[in-house]
Amino acid sequence: MSLNAFISYLSLEKNYSRHTVNAYKNDILGFSSFCSSEYQIKTIDAVDYTIIRSWIVALVNKKVSNRTINRKIASLKAYYKFLQKSGVRATNPLVKHKALKTQKKIEVPFSEQEMEKVLQQIPFEQDFEGVRDKLLIELLYATGMRRAELVNLTLEGVSLNRTSLKVLGKRNKERIIPVLPITIEAIKKYLQYRSDLPSIQDNTFLFLTKSGHKIYETLVYRVINKYLSMVSFKIKKSPHILRHTFATHLLNKGADLNAVKELLGHSSLASTQVYTHNSIAELKKVHHNAHPRNKD
């Protein structure tokens, strides 16, 4: 019963996405299953840290990564915090828990040359899917929006006259993103092909499959991976890397960090600062080339 209440709280009050809510639920059910099989405990609501600690050890022994274990424990910690606020238990058993050490995750953005190649040199098919796929890549790079935001972008949210898009971000927060004139022309071209589809099932949304249904996140990933693989040897080629590329290229060109934060839809500046390591490298290069004290 407590888990159902927690799931409702995440969905209705915290406005978390279905994907995020399912991740929390699966983590908690995983711990519940461990308690049932190892300790014959039917409910996890009253367990102490000793049992949680033994779960962590079991996960480590199974070679589960520290990053994944930290995520699972974060889910459990949020659950016990909810139980504490609800009066179900007096304390949170994880209040003093320290996360396991993890290696810093470095995501390498695409270069300006790679983005220029994919948008200017690849011969996309001049049909509905070819025009759509190119626009998918261009919009992600031009706006830095999330994959889910792209999938859920509506026709109503596209303002050609104002050269802007209205997207629905995390926790149902709306934001307006400016769009370059070249991207507006690409949208107009796509809309012409879209209007010629023999059948449209989900007319609310901008991006559709050729059968007229709303596109899905796996399709977006496949498109990005397919075309970026033609111009880049980088291991990770995903929609999120395009978002990372957008932020890095703006910062490299001198964009204000707060402005990039707003464009990305981040709630805190700390989330945006993860993109600055690449721009710092660029600043070092500029400093090295331009400073009069440099004798090279």
Check pLDDT > 60 for residue 283. no
- Here the tokens at position 49 are 């840290």
Cα dihedral 10→15→19→21 (10° resolution) = 0
Is 266 assigned a catalytic role?
yes
* Active-site pick, 72, 194, 237, 243: 243
Q: What are 105-150's pLDDT values in tens digits? A: 667 899 999 999 999 999 999 999 999 999 999 999 999 999 999 9
- Asked whether the CA dihedral 269, 178, 205, 239 is positive or negative, the reply is negative
Is 146 assigned a catalytic role?
yes
Segment 38-57 shows an average pLDDT of: 95
- Mean of all residue pLDDT scores within the chain: 91
Quickly state the pLDDT bin for 273 (edges 50, 70, 90). confident
Sheet holding 174-178, edge to edge: 158-159, 164-168, 174-178
Percent of residues, the chain, with pLDDT higher than 90: 76
Given this model, what pLDDT does residue 18 score?
86
Segment 177-203 shows an average pLDDT of: 95
CB neighbours of residue 152 within 10 Å: 20
* Active-site pick, 71, 117, 170, 175: 170
* Active-site pick, 72, 132, 146, 261: 146
Q: What are 67-104's pLDDT values in tens digits? A: 999 999 999 999 999 999 999 999 999 999 999 998 76
Instruction: Report the range of poorest mean pLDDT among 1-10, 51-60, 113-122.
Output: 1-10
* Active-site pick, 16, 190, 227, 275: 275
Given this model, what pLDDT does residue 96 score?
93
How is 73-94 classified by DSSP, letter by letter? HHHHHHHHHHHHHTTS-SS-TT
Segment 59-68 shows an average pLDDT of: 94
Check pLDDT > 90 for residue 293. no
Is 243 assigned a catalytic role?
yes
Q: What are 211-250's pLDDT values in tens digits? A: 999 999 999 999 999 999 999 988 889 999 999 999 999 9
**Cα gap 81→211, rounded to integer Å:** 46
Given this model, what pLDDT does residue 278 score?
59
Is 170 assigned a catalytic role?
yes
Given this model, what pLDDT does residue 290 score?
62
**Cα gap 25→96, rounded to integer Å:** 23
